[in-house]
Homo-oligomer: A and B are copies of this chain.
């Protein structure tokens, strides 16, 4: 077994805490790096003449369960109608 009771909740807990925090912060950094990559791809696409805003909507729609999308559209249409905007 790796890790006694003492190590887990005893006098060593601060050390353990630091290790957890470190791991989290490192992962957070990696995550940010990927987020930056994504931004870069959008930039590239923009440079190629694409409309970034609509591309984002496209990605959202694809990620979204298709039925759910339709359902939300229906509700919106209902509201638009009820205000005489459709």
Give A contacts to B, CB under 8 Å.
Answer: 2-3, 5-14, 16-18, 20-21, 23-25, 27-28, 30-31, 34-35, 37-38, 41-42, 44-45, 48-51, 53-55, 57-65, 67-68, 71-72, 74-76, 78-80, 82-83, 85
Q: Are A61's CB and B68's CB within 8 A?
A: yes
A-B contact list, 20 entries, CB within 8 Å: A3-B75, A8-B50, A8-B54, A10-B49, A11-B49, A13-B48, A13-B82, A14-B82, A16-B50, A17-B45, A18-B83, A21-B83, A27-B41, A28-B59, A31-B31, A51-B75, A54-B78, A55-B79, A58-B85, A61-B75
Residues from chain B with Cβ under 8 Å of A2 in the complex? 71
